[in-house]
A and B are shown apart, each in its own frame.
Chain A
């Protein structure tokens, strides 16, 4: 798997016992059977969610 889903950090996140970990695992599972359009949508959705997590963490006091 290449692109965002093949990223080492994503693989590390997938091992987390947290909502974020479950999220990444779900996306990786769905990506296995996805066609190219669906794969692109999954990648974009995961990117959107993780960037929200990151942005909120950075905004936190």
Chain B
């Protein structure tokens, strides 16, 4: 991805000006205060927003906006920002100028809204960077320190691979280890293990208070905390138990009331033992049926009802066809064109009248008119008769169909009544839905229906809820009902047991509450209180140490993982670039586990970077950063921006440095901002793209461009 142009509608000292860039090396050259830094700053300001608006807002104007155009891989990306309102418009287009993705909304620098998140995610996916600080740390080069050391370079690299602009992961690891080290001498990372820390001191104090108290590491839990935990768990359990108990009671009541109704409607006794029996309904099946969407207690004849409903629907649907055919036939019945006929007759009469008036063959004309009118009348009469016959036939057919329809509707209404009587929905749509449910849950329904029908105790008489297939009288029948009665008794017994269990739990809860109260009162007075405080502190320390250990292991593991997965590629990419910059003098670069670089010299010796000149270290740094960008952004790299980084270099070093950046730009795009007018000559020689600035105006004289995307934006 290359930066094709910056359009500054109103930004700093620029108004309505566009600065274009090319692939490869670009030189923005001009004296101090010409606006070089403003142009450089326009890129992060447009992409991420700025908190230095006053610096870029033109004096006396209430507008400040600029746009960036990127190109690459057959796509263009335009980002436009109003820096006063932070309204951003981002559009990604393909090579046919069709939008691929876009964003429009507010996205201030430190915004946390969902709109900001959406914008940053889009930036990350399109340009590979969504953080302003990280962008600066990655793509911006300014004046470097006079001398680099290997450790400084390593720190810079560690910061970049950490995924942040300022944070070296090694510093975080160090801070966590320090904290751990201050808490306990038990240290898996090989530090001083002799001197006791706070954790060991607390354990020793506890031992002094109660010699029987052993000091297990990281397992003991403070009594009060444990009791509180138990109370919390038990309370939650009891709440659930009470709900279940009430549910059970309600259910038994419900079954009893149903049974009473059934006794009144269909009184029948069962031969057998008293007390009378009841029935048990499998809660699970009922729940599953309810969850599946069935009405409560689907009747046994549900399938039969639904089959009848389906049959009625089928008949209704079959009836539609003859109705439709009849409609078509009715439309095709020939009509007599009375208006046309009368008009023709009137016209003929007028013609005959005119013939009489003018005495032009009046007899012949009148006779002809008479014959024509007669013929027309005959045709109309025949047509009228045919039409009446066809209409009568259609009417008879419609009557027959209406009769059929009415019979079906009657069946439908009878079925609806039956459904309603059994607590089922009656509308055809609901019945279709129910039929689908039945098809999908046939097995579940079979289980539900195959369970014994509920019975209950009513005044020493066992009564079945619904007559089932086995209720044809006889010994087997009565045996089964007695068994059902036993089942209900069992259920009631289980409910009673459940009640006892609840009482026991309530007792235990009261006991725990008493214990907690005792602990609290002992804490308030005397040594026991000291013990409790110590135990509490010990528990806190253990929790913190466990957390620190986990965090240290996670971070150290992630660094190892990153090194394993990325370091080889980073070394390879940096080595290739470094060889290019140094014209093949140094071919390989290696970073150790702390990111300290060394360079292969004479193809056999690895030499630490500290032994090289500043120019070589600068070149290495440039190579490493460029390689890192390549890996991090996976081909979505933005241009490198060099803001007068060579300001302190003498002529010889400057020449070397320029060679270096020229080589580095070969694979992408590099924008060098400089006030050194001598660079202009070199730019002309090397055919760089030059943007000369002169006191706020831009002269866009350009050099040649080797890139394949040259000029595309103008065409668009």
User: In this assembly, does B709 line the interface, its C-beta being within 8 Å of a C-beta of chain A?
Assistant: no
User: A19 touches which one: B161, B171, B550, B631 (CB < 8 A)?
Assistant: B161
A56, B163: Cβ atoms closer than 8 Å: no
Query: Which A residues lie within 8 Å of B561 (CB)?
Result: 22, 26
Residue-wise, chain B 629-650 has the 8 Å CB interface mask toward A (1 for contact) of 0011110000000000000000
CB atoms of A23 and B554 under 8 A apart:
yes
With a cutoff of 8 Å between Cβ atoms, the chain A residues found around residue B176 in the complex are 48, 52
Instruction: Tell me, yes or no, whether B382 is within 8 Å of chain A by CB.
Output: no
Asked if B162 and A20 make an inter-chain contact with CB atoms under 8 angstroms apart, the answer reads yes
Task: Kindly state whether residue B682 has any CB partner on chain A within 8 Å.
Answer: no
Enumerate chain B residues within 8 angstroms of A1, measured Cβ to Cβ: none
Most buried by B among A22, A27, A52: A22
Q: Given A49-B551, A56-B172, 5 more contacts at CB 8 Å?
A: A12-B120, A12-B124, A16-B163, A19-B562, A57-B133
21 contacts between A and B (CB under 8 A): A9-B117, A12-B121, A13-B163, A17-B634, A18-B163, A19-B161, A20-B164, A20-B558, A22-B558, A22-B561, A22-B562, A26-B561, A45-B547, A45-B550, A46-B551, A48-B551, A49-B554, A52-B176, A56-B171, A57-B164, A60-B167
Which residues of chain B come closer than 8 Å to A46, judged between CB atoms?
A: 551, 554
Residues of chain A within 8 A of B631, CB atoms compared = 17
Chain B residues with CB below 8 A from A23, complex form? 554-555, 558
Tell whether B311 is near chain A: CB-to-CB under 8 Å: no
Interface of chain A residues 24 through 49 with chain B (CB within 8 A): 26-27, 41-42, 44-46, 48-49
Query: A43 to chain B: closest CB distance in Å?
Result: 10
Interchain CB contact under 8 A, A45 and B551: yes
Mark contacts of B534-548 with chain A using CB atoms, 8 A cut-off: 1 yes-contact digit, 0 otherwise.
000000000000111
State the total of A-B contacts with C-beta under 8 angstroms: 86
Q: Kindly state the separation between the CA atoms of A40 and B167 in the bound complex, as whole angstroms.
A: 26
* Max chain A Cβ within 10 angstroms of own Cβ: one of B121, B161, B167, B565: B167
Chain B neighbourhood of A17, CB < 8 A? 566, 631-634
Contacts of B166 in A (CB 8 A): 56-57, 60
Contact B165 A57, beta carbon cutoff 8 Å: yes
Known: A17-B566, A17-B634, A45-B547. A53 touches B554 (CB 8 A): no
Query: Which residues in B have their C-beta under 8 angstroms from that of A8?
Result: 117
- Are A18 and B554 in contact (CB-based, < 8 A)? no
A20 to B176, CA, bound (A): 16
CB-CB nearest 9 A-B residue pairs: A18-B163, A60-B166, A20-B163, A23-B558, A45-B550, A45-B551, A22-B558, A56-B167, A52-B172
Q: In the complex the two chains form, is A19's CB within 8 Å of B559's CB?
A: yes
- For the side of the interface on A, what is the size category? 20 to 34
B557 is an interface residue with CB less than 8 A from chain A:
yes
**Cβ contact within 8 Å between A52 and B175:** yes
Question: Residues of A with Cβ closer than 8 Å to B?
Answer: 8-9, 12-13, 15-23, 26-27, 41-42, 44-46, 48-49, 52-53, 56-57, 60
Most buried by A among B175, B547, B555: B555
Does B169 sit at the interface, judged by CB under 8 A? yes
Q: In the assembly, what is the distance between CA of A17 and CA of B120, in Å?
A: 16
Contacting residues, chain A, for B632 (C-beta < 8 A): 17-18
| Complex CA distance for A14 and B558, rounded to whole angstroms | 12
Cβ of A38 to closest chain B Cβ, rounded Å: 9
- Known contacts A12-B121, A22-B558: A53-B164 contact under CB 8 Å: yes
List residues of chain B with CB within 8 A of the CB of A15.
124
Q: Which residues of A contact B550 (CB under 8 A)?
A: 41-42, 44-45
Q: List CB contacts (< 8 Å) of B546-585 with chain A.
A: 546-548, 550-551, 554-555, 557-559, 561-562, 565-566
Once bound together, how far apart are the Cα atoms of A9 and B117, in whole Å? 8
Taking A45-B551, A53-B167 as contacts, is the C-beta distance between A26 and B161 under 8 angstroms?
no
Instruction: State in angstroms the CA–CA spacing of A5 and B550 once bound together.
Output: 16
Bound: A8/B163 CA distance, A: 17
Q: Are B163 and A48 in contact (CB under 8 A)?
A: no
Task: Output the least CB separation between A13 and chain B (Å).
Answer: 8
Which of chain B's residues have a CB closer than 8 A to the CB of A21? 163
CB distance from A59 to the nearest CB of B (A): 8
Q: Measured between C-beta atoms, what is the minimum distance from B543 to chain A in Å?
A: 9
Quick one: closest B residue to A53, CB to CB?
Answer: B167
Q: Give Cα A27–Cα B551 distance, bound, in whole angstroms.
A: 10
Q: Which of B115-142 touch A at CB < 8 Å?
A: 117, 120-121, 124, 133
Minimum distance in angstroms from B350 CB to a CB of chain A: 88
* Identity of the chain A residue whose Cβ is nearest the Cβ of B172 in the assembled complex: A52
A53 partner, pick from B121, B124, B172, B557, beta carbons under 8 A: B172
**Please, which residues of chain A bring their CB within 8 A of the CB of B565?**
22
Please encode chain B, from 168 to 180, with 1 for each CB lying within 8 Å of some chain A CB and 0 for all others.
0101100110000
Beta-carbon contact of B169 and A19 below 8 Å: yes
Q: Which residues of A contact B546 (CB under 8 A)?
A: 41
Q: Point out the residues of chain A lying under 8 angstroms from B562, CB to CB.
A: 18-19, 22
User: What is the bound-complex CA distance between A42 and B558, given in angstroms?
Assistant: 14
In the assembled complex, the CB of B450 is this many whole angstroms from the nearest CB of chain A, namely 40
Residue interface mask B259-286, A partner, CB < 8 A = 1: 0000000000000000000000000000
In the bound complex, CA of A52 to CA of B633 (Å): 25
